[in-house]
Amino acid sequence: MAKLLVISLNYRTPVMTLRSVDAALRAMEGLDAELVIVDNDSGDGSFELIEQEIATKYPDAPVRVLQSQHNGGFGAGNNVGIRAGWSDGSKPDYVYLLNSDAFPAPDALQKLLEHLETHPEAGFAGSYIHGEDGDAHVTAFRFPSALSELEGSARFGPVSRLLRNHQVPLAVPDETTRVDWLAGASLMMRQTALDAIGLFDETFFLYFEETDLCLRAARAGHETHYVRSSEVAHIGSVSTGMKTWQRVPGFWLDSRWTYFTKNHGRAYAVLATLLHAVGGAMWRIRRVLQRKPAADPPHFLRDLLLHDLKAFFRPLPGKQRAVRPFTGQTATETGTE
């Protein structure tokens, strides 16, 4: 039976994380699976609370609780869990990432595992994600491009129809299919694919890290598949607060610029920003003329242009932060096996 490592990343949401862990443990029943909870340096007592609850509620469950040495973001925190590997020091066959505010159906992990076992061309497989109200979430995407920046910012029917093959969000698939990339709320990854391409690039603090990882996988010949039969409920933005942003944070702007420059070069990143500005200007003119409500956080276009102008004149960064694969070494650890 294939060995599965499940990773739950916590940042200051211990109660929600424990609720998600409870669902994950039910979904792990019958599988050769272990769970690693990584507290991403919350500094608010999360680690101690989770440690105590796990020891009390799940004394015999295959669960470990790790504490990262610093909060390096989503990718870095998950890398801690991936590098920890199996409790006996070996590698798993598959790694499954589950957001702390996501709750898999009892057969959700089994469905992903079965798909990867029977589709060797797939390196990654992700679930159908829905809200607690049952509404489907958009979690399947095309890779971003300069033309997708124009399409997304213009919000204009004729432009969207012309560039429909460049739209990043895909309509929620009604069957299992290949996609470019998937949101990381429920994502299973083949360990051999990670061995080949490395782990998350820790240059990304938050956002675009799954996009970058799936692009690296695609370039190495590993497909990403959306598995409709695997269902996971997801609240969304609990740790990031994205739904209440009053201003797009600098780390999102950093991640976007890094994605384009790393994967396509600085000239292409500039083109992507210029096309975004053209589309954004078109939208803002229409918004005034047609009295449409705002669709972006305040000052978004100005913030984007100023950020990328400054970024363009910054020296090129050195090598990306380590994306070393499995090492068998953990951060601060406790647990019950």
Residue in 170, 176, 174, 175 with CA at minimum distance from that of residue 118: 176
263, 215 Cβ separation under 8 angstroms: yes
pLDDT, residue 325, reads 56
- 30 is written with which tokens? 């019958």
Q: Could you give the CA distance from residue 242 to residue 29 in angstroms, rounded to a whole number? A: 33
Per-residue pLDDT at 236 = 74
State residue 323's pLDDT score. 57
This prediction has a pTM of 0.92
Quote the CA–CA distance of 211 and 106 in Å, as a whole number.
27
Kindly state the tokens that stand for 29.
């029943």
Q: Each residue's pLDDT tens digit in the chain (337 positions)?
A: 999 999 999 999 999 999 999 999 999 999 999 999 999 999 999 999 999 999 999 999 999 999 998 999 999 999 999 999 999 999 999 999 999 999 999 999 999 999 999 999 999 999 999 998 999 999 999 999 999 999 999 999 999 999 999 999 999 999 999 999 999 999 999 999 999 999 999 999 999 999 999 999 999 999 999 999 999 999 975 444 555 668 899 999 999 999 999 999 999 999 999 999 999 999 999 999 999 999 999 999 999 999 999 999 988 665 544 455 555 544 444 443 3
Phi/psi of residue 178, nearest 5 degrees: -80, 140
- Domains, the chain, in order of start with CATH, read 3-150+167-240+324-336 (3.90.550.10)
- Using alpha carbons, select from 127, 93, 100, 78 the residue that is nearest to residue 4: 93
Report whether 276 contacts 309 (CB < 8 A). no
Structure tokens at 204: 């990304």
